Amino acid sequence: MRVFFNGEFIHEREAMVPVTDRGWLYGDGLFDTMRLFEGKPFLWHRHIDRLMRGAALMLIRLPHGKADLATSVGHLMELNDFYDGVLRIQVSRAGKQRGYAPSNASEPAPIAQQ
């Protein structure tokens, strides 16, 4: 199965989260899970708006907008020939250095998987 990881469509076995990732170390991130039904994410706008609001509240700047994420999700469904099931979008603040301060973070790392 393919996943959308750091802006690329890769095989799920290749999606490696560094041990310095803030989501891994501290749970510093957020996610949303939605139903895929007949090739469409059910209540897409509600889910993606909630994800965007959550990221804004946490001061995580997402590298992709709503339209880009929708395009990526559509492409991911095509790559996997998967149109009914569950989609999970995860966002980590990422990070390159250890430490509790969010200022140690790098670019956020969005992951979409089915």
Taken in order of first residue, the domains within the chain and their CATH numbers are: 2-113 (3.30.470.10)
Q: Helices 44-57 and 66-80 meet at what angle, rounded to 10?
A: 120
CB 69 within 8 A of CB 112: yes
Q: Would you say the pTM of this structure is higher than 0.75?
A: yes
Per-residue confidence of the chain (114 residues) as pLDDT tens digits?
999 998 899 999 999 988 888 888 888 899 999 999 998 999 999 999 999 999 999 988 888 899 999 999 999 999 999 999 999 999 988 776 666 556 555 555 555 555
